[in-house]
Structure 1
Amino acid sequence: MTQAHRIVQKEELGDDVVGSTQDLIRRDAIATYRVVGEPADADLQGLVRLATLMCDVPVAVINIIDEHSQHQIAAVGIERAMCARKDSLCSIVIEQKKPLVIADARADEALAHHPFVDGTLARVRFYASSPLITPEGVAIGTLCLFDSHPRELAPDRREALDLLAGQAMDVLELRRITHELFTANDRLERFAAQVTHDLSNPLSAVTGFIELAADGAESLGAPDVTHALERADAASVRMARMLADLLNYVRVGDSDRVRNEITLADVIRVALDDLAAVITESRVSVTVEANERIVADEMACEVLFQNLIANAIKFAGASRDAPRVEIRAVSITDGVRVTVDDDGPGISPDQRERVFGLMERGDNHNLPGLGLGLSTCRRIVESHGGSIGITESPMGGARFSLIFPRSTSAA
């Protein structure tokens, strides 16, 4: 924009604007980004620094403008500060939602007596600004450049300023989405914990009553009743496992969990102990060679291997009488690789990614469970910076390969 372009007078942005519908929309949008009154974001600081270098100016600022004030949330060349919106040069830009370039503000009739120009607050001569516009089309602030000497801004540098303003908006969007995800995960965890707690107590009572009734029916010689109660008891046990799966899924990957050096064989041994009844019932043979150490959340890894072993037993046991499962860990250049092999039917290539999705069990829809186990496994491994995938096992079934990177592997 040139000096000949109409400049909105600050009086036009005064009391008539404050409290307008657009201002209320802008205020709500600003609140979602949680930047006003917070320490300067490193990424935003980097962008304003880049703006000064690319446009060859001494001062660059990212402003957020609400109905009352202008807040400098990132700045290079001056200290971050706040001023009244009526004194803001950038209020012009957010109202018009267009870039603005003034080569010499002192020579511009509309701006010559502005407090940022006439010496009341500063002596700005050169001014260039590009609006920060949300995906919903709300202008919430600007990326602007200042200099105390008149100058021109070449077209390519104007384009660079607009691109940097877009990048600043992307940083703010990422900040907003990250906060929303953390909030949603926290709510999900609290909800799942409450649901699990609320359902576990009555479920325990139901299980207890079923066992008492089954004992009574057996003593009275009522085999049909006993059989029905045994089926009900098995159903209650499955429901308890599903509740535990749900709670495990939302709890894993918590960055606040403590990570220590652990030996994989010890963690796997705990998982096998928890699966003792299933192992005995399925007559599975489990071989473990995993003496490697990693730095990890021990409880999360217990859940990880319990799910992987249970999954191997479930699918291999569905196809043969005495399935085999082999677990091995080896040191590799980038960390530790763990493989879990079974001799079951395997998983077809087109299903190997799908089974990690929520509520997914591939083509095996008749097997019990919510389909959360492998989703939980992926969340655990990825929370440690690792990866997990499926290939065909040399034993004929499926091979789950886990990589724990060197940063989480013990020396």
Structure 2
Amino acid sequence: MHSKLLFPLLNSKSIPVSASLIEDERLTALRSYDILDTAEEKDFDELTELASVICQTPIALISLVDAERQWFKSHKGLSATETPIEQSFCAHAILSYDEMMVIDDAREDERFADNPLVTGHPKIVFYAGVPLVNEDGYALGTLCVIDGDKKHLSDAQIGALKILAKQVVDKLELRRKILNLQVANQELREANMFIQKFASTAAHDIKNPLSSIHLTSQALKIRLQKLGDEGCVRLIDLNLTSTNRLIGLLDEMLDYSKDPSLLLSKKTNIDLRKSLKKLISMINLPDNFKIVLPPEGLALNISVVSFEQIFINLLSNAIRYNDKINPIIEIRFNSDNDYYYFEVEDNGIGISPEYHEKIFSNSFTLKITDRYNKKGTGIGLATIKDLVNALKGNIYVKSSPGVGTTFYFTVKK
């Protein structure tokens, strides 16, 4: 495959528009490596040293051709670090369709006979340069060897020089990939900082009205106790319990937003049945719903905030999307040495098989309405899948339209 070639100001006074665009693209590619004017590096110097030894030449260069100069990333046997592009042998080399440009005697070549690098120091006679063509097809420069005497390279020397040139390109590509990773990591850090700041602000914004609800509920409870209205006092107690739990949940979510590793490290011993009852008390459960819980005495060591978020979402969906006269939800549990196994089954409207994978995708929403005549947001199950994955588990669904749905998920112990 031919390289995308350079069109420098060497012989032509007018450059075609298409050629100029290609040169702009080539220069953009060269600068994407962020290598021009960087310090000497052992990895590159070793390659020029090898080229010099293999080809038996006093000079070997890794030359990168910029808009107005050729700059040497490595320069074995030459003190200069760059030369003007008008004097550049390498600029001619990367114009060639050949895999390698060889000049046996520059003094007899009309392109270079008057070149100051030929008539003066370092008095170039022999030149052989292999273009450094990157993975996108752009010629960035050359790996070249130079001698002050006429010379002829053997097939083995030519083959070795081409291999070394490929090694130079590989090192350049590795450098660019590392730079891109560093940029991506920085962008990710900045995004995480924004998310943490947003989560902190949102948590405080939500906690303020919750705190007000909590204070007014306490005041209302005192007044109702004085009036002896026990029924309303019980409702207020329920409101206070839910408010306290929401405030605690916000604090936990804020902690996790600052340090996601807490999902795995911050685990708590819980009683499964009691924890589920507490969650159900926070959900708007219609009177006709029946929820079958696992038996008593099942102890788990798990990330509480993840456990609660997963079950609140699954139970809320099971309630919202149930059209039966006698709706029922059954929660089942099992475990082995490595995993906890959960099942949440309902007898609701069900999900068609073609959507069983899609419902876990971001922003996918089934075109159905719930029992309250509202459409879903399409983000809940995607978040649940992310949580389960973070807990080193798996989640999937089995469902039949009109019959019901069962979600199966695991959590690694």
Q: Which of the five TM-score ranges fits, normalised by the shorter chain?
A: 0.5 to 0.7
> Which residues in structure 2 correspond to 1:69-218 (within 5 Å)?
69-98=69-98, 99-119=100-120, 121-214=121-214, 216-217=216-217
8 Å CA contact 1:17, 1:23 repeated in 2: no
| Structure 2 unaligned spans of 5+ | 1-6, 222-232, 273-295, 303-334, 341-361, 363-382, 393-410
Q: Report the alpha carbon displacement of residue 248 of structure 1 after superposing the two structures with TM.
A: 8.4
The 3 A distance-change label for structure 1 pair 94 and 21 is same
Q: Distance in 1 between matches of 2:174 and 2:386?
A: 39
Residue 163 (structure 1) shift: 1.4
Equivalent in the alignment of 2:254:
240
Percent identity over the alignment is: 23
1:137, distance to aligned residue in structure 2 (A): 0.8
One-letter identity of the residue aligned with 1:42: K
Contact between 2:64 and 2:141, CA under 8 Å: does it hold in 1? Answer: yes
TM-score normalised according to structure 2 size:
0.58
Mapped to 2, the partners of 1:347 and 1:167 lie a distance apart of: 48
Residues 324, 246 of structure 1: CA spacing in aligned structure 2 closer, same or farther, 3 A cutoff? closer
Whole-angstrom CA distance in 2 between matches of 1:134 and 1:161? 16
By how many angstroms is 1:22 displaced? 2.5
Q: Report how far residue 232 of structure 1 moved.
A: 3.8
For the residues of structure 2 that align with 1:152 and 1:127, how far apart are their CA atoms? 10
Offset of 1:369 from its aligned partner? 3.4
Q: Following superposition of structure 1 onto structure 2, how do residues 10-89 of structure 1 map, counting pairs within 5 Å?
A: 11-12=10-11, 16=15, 20-89=20-89
Offset of 1:240 from its aligned partner? 2.0
Q: Secondary structure at the match of 1:112?
A: coil
Q: Let me know the Cα RMSD of the aligned residues.
A: 4.1
1:229-264 per-position Cα deviation (integer Å, ceiling 9, x unaligned): 456445534532441245989xxxxxxxxxxxxxxx
Check the 8 A contact 1:52/1:59 in 2, yes or no: yes
Say which of 253, 268, 279 aligns to 1:279. 268
Deviation at 1:31, TM superposition (A): 1.2
- Greater mean alpha carbon deviation, residues 233-242 or residues 60-69: 233-242
1:56 is displaced (CA, Å) by: 1.9
Q: Shift in Å at residue 207 of structure 1?
A: 2.9
Greater gyration radius = 2
Instruction: Report the number of matched residues.
Output: 282
Q: Is the 8 A contact 1:64 1:140 kept in 2?
A: yes
Q: How does 1:365-404 map to 2 (within 5 A)?
A: 369=387, 371-372=389-390
Q: CA offset at residue 29 of structure 1?
A: 1.2
1:346 shift after superposition: 0.8
TM-score normalized by the length of structure 1: 0.58
- 2: distance between equivalents of 1:188 and 1:217? 42
Residues 45 and 75, structure 1, Cα contact 8 Å, conserved in 2: yes
Change (3 A) 1:131 1:368: closer
Letter in 1 for 2:141: G
- Per the TM alignment, residue 323 of structure 1 is displaced from its structure 2 partner at its CA by 5.3
Deviations 1:263-283 (A, max 9, x none): xxxxxxxx7xxx5xx536569
Q: Distance in 1 between matches of 2:258 and 2:188?
A: 14
Could you tell me how far 1:216 is from its partner in structure 2?
A: 4.2
Q: Check 1:368–1:82 CA distance in 2 against 1; reply closer, same or farther (3 A cut).
A: closer
Whole-angstrom distance in 2 between the partners of 1:128 and 1:171: 21
The aligned counterpart of 1:377 is none
Q: CA deviation at 1:186?
A: 1.4
**Structure 1, unaligned stretches of length 5 or more?**
1-7, 250-270, 284-318, 326-342, 349-358, 360-364, 375-396, 400-411
Indicate conservation of the 8 Å contact 1:196/1:247, yes or no.
Answer: no
SS at match of 2:250: helix
The CA deviation string for residues 176-200 of structure 1, in whole angstroms up to 9 with x for no partner, is: 1111211211121122112211221
Structure 1 counterpart of 2:229: none
Cα distance change of structure 1 residues 241 and 282 upon mapping to structure 2, 3 Å threshold: farther
Structure 1, residues 277-320: CA drift from partner, whole Å, max 9, x if none?
x536569xxxxxxxxxxxxxxxxxxxxxxxxxxxxxxxxxxx98
Amino acid at match of 2:258: A
CA distance in 2, matches of 1:228, 1:129: 76
The equivalent of 1:321 in structure 2 is 298
Would you say the 8 A contact 2:269–2:299 is kept in 1? Answer: no
Q: Distance in 2 between matches of 1:193 and 1:244?
A: 9
Q: Any idea what the Cα deviations from partners look like across 1:42-72, whole Å, max 9, x if unmatched?
A: 2111111111122222210011112211111
Counterpart Cα distance in 2 of 1:69 and 1:17: 21
Aligned residue type for 1:207:
K
- Provide the C-alpha distance between the structure 2 equivalents of 1:214 and 1:371, rounded to a whole number of angstroms: 35
> What amino acid is the match of 1:29?
A
- TM-superposed deviation, 1:24: 1.4
Tell me which moved more, 196-205 or 183-192: 196-205
One-letter amino acid of the structure 1 residue matched with residue 298 of structure 2:
D
SS of the residue corresponding to residue 70 of structure 2 reads strand
1:293 match = none
